[in-house]
Amino acid sequence: MNVSSSSRWLHRFAWLTATLTLLLPVTTGALVTTLKAGMAFADWPSSDGYNMLAYPWLSSARDQFIEHGHRLSGLTIGVLSIALAMAAWCIETRGPARWLASAIFLSVFVQGMLGGARVLMDKQTMALIHGDFAAGVFSLMGVFVLMTGAGWDSRELIRDVARAKRVRNIAVAVLVTVAIQYFLGGVLRHLGESWAWMLHPWFAIVPVVLSVLFAAKARQAGSAILNRGAKFLLALIVSQALLGLASWYVRFGVPSWGVVAELNSPAQIIVCSLHKVVGMLTLMTTVLNTVCAIAVQPRYADRAFGSTTFEGSMMGAAT
């Protein structure tokens, strides 16, 4: 296997790890929170006294099925993160990519410990920390996918310094506001604080407006990577805003219209959980856009990477 094919293999493995993370522990974790099944077991890492791999999972009740499935999916990602770090150190020649892969493994390990602490302490605050830290882990995986792409080292720089700075600053602003909104959503889901109920719906307007501005500035800057990323981010943020309205509808209903919400109805479970999953995907995308906005800065790129051109995709997805 030559260096080029090895790098493509590592990139695809990074894609696989990130995708399975979103589909398995992130999605099952969202379901656990929606169903309030986080304490389906009072013990950890065992489940009702069973070894994690010996528990009769397929014949368990709903809450136990979802919670144990979340534990098994976390274990699966843990194994994949170990393999990813080992592969990076064997295949990658760039130090930053190697250390990022190691950071992913370490963060997955810490995330597992936070999940265990949430159970053993039986604290909703720990559930909030566990959920928010997961977004950081997933974002690291996204950055690794980006960095291992075939076009990352040959990306196109923004030639206009002033425009480059403006688009970078707006990207950072979008990231900060989306992170705040994600945190407020976590406070609502885990703690149900009244102040968050007032702030979260209205604050959503801020990242929507900023994402529109970011898309406009990215287009003006003439960067293909930022233009594609900004469009994808805008689509995600608009979708997330609509899911937020849908979550309110299925959770509280509209009494004036004669619509009464049904607790744990299929629509409520699906919409509220999807709102959480898309929220994490949105936050990860803002992180990638910010990394790209920094990396295409003329002075930063000339100093750290050299002046080159970029023809790859937003995610470096050359396959």
Distances (CA, A) of 156 to 20, 182, 313: 30, 31, 11
Report the distance separating Cα 225 and Cα 222, nearest Å: 9
DSSP string spanning 3-69?
A: HHHHHHHHHHHHHHHHHHHIIIIIHHHHHHHHHT-TTS-SSSSSBTTB-TTTS-GGGS-HHHHHHHH
Report the distance separating Cα 95 and Cα 209, nearest Å: 37
Q: Tell me, what's the pLDDT at 130?
A: 97
Q: Compare 20 and 1 and report the one with higher pLDDT.
A: 20
Say whether pLDDT at 244 is over 60.
yes
Full-model pTM: 0.89
213-222 long-range contacts, Cβ below 8 Å, gap at least 24?
Answer: 213/170, 214/167, 214/170, 214/171, 214/174, 214/289, 217/163, 217/166, 217/167, 217/170, 218/167, 220/163, 220/167, 221/158, 221/160, 221/163, 221/164, 221/166, 221/167, 222/158, 222/159
Three-state DSSP at 254 gives strand
Which pLDDT tens digit goes with each residue over 188-229? 999 999 899 889 999 999 999 999 999 999 999 888 889 999
Contact 319, 12 (CB under 8 A): yes
Three-state DSSP at 257 gives helix
Distances (CA, A) of 233 to 152, 174, 185, 247, 276: 19, 10, 18, 20, 16
Which pLDDT tens digit goes with each residue over 71-110? 999 999 999 999 999 999 999 888 999 999 999 999 999 9
CB contact burial 254-274 (16+ within 10 A = b; e otherwise): eeeeeeeeeeeeeebbebbbb
Where does the pLDDT of residue 260 fall: very low under 50, low under 70, confident under 90, or very high at 90 and above? confident
Which pLDDT tens digit goes with each residue over 142-197? 999 999 988 787 788 888 899 999 999 999 999 999 999 999 999 999 999 989 98
Q: For 234, how many CA atoms within 13 A lie in the half-sphere containing its CB?
A: 17
Which pLDDT tens digit goes with each residue over 281-316? 999 999 999 999 999 998 654 444 443 433 333 334
Report the distance separating Cα 235 and Cα 230, nearest Å: 9
Mean pLDDT across 23-42: 96
DSSP string spanning 83-127?
A: HHHHHHHHH---HHHHHHHHHHHHHHHHHHHHHHHHHHHT-HHHH
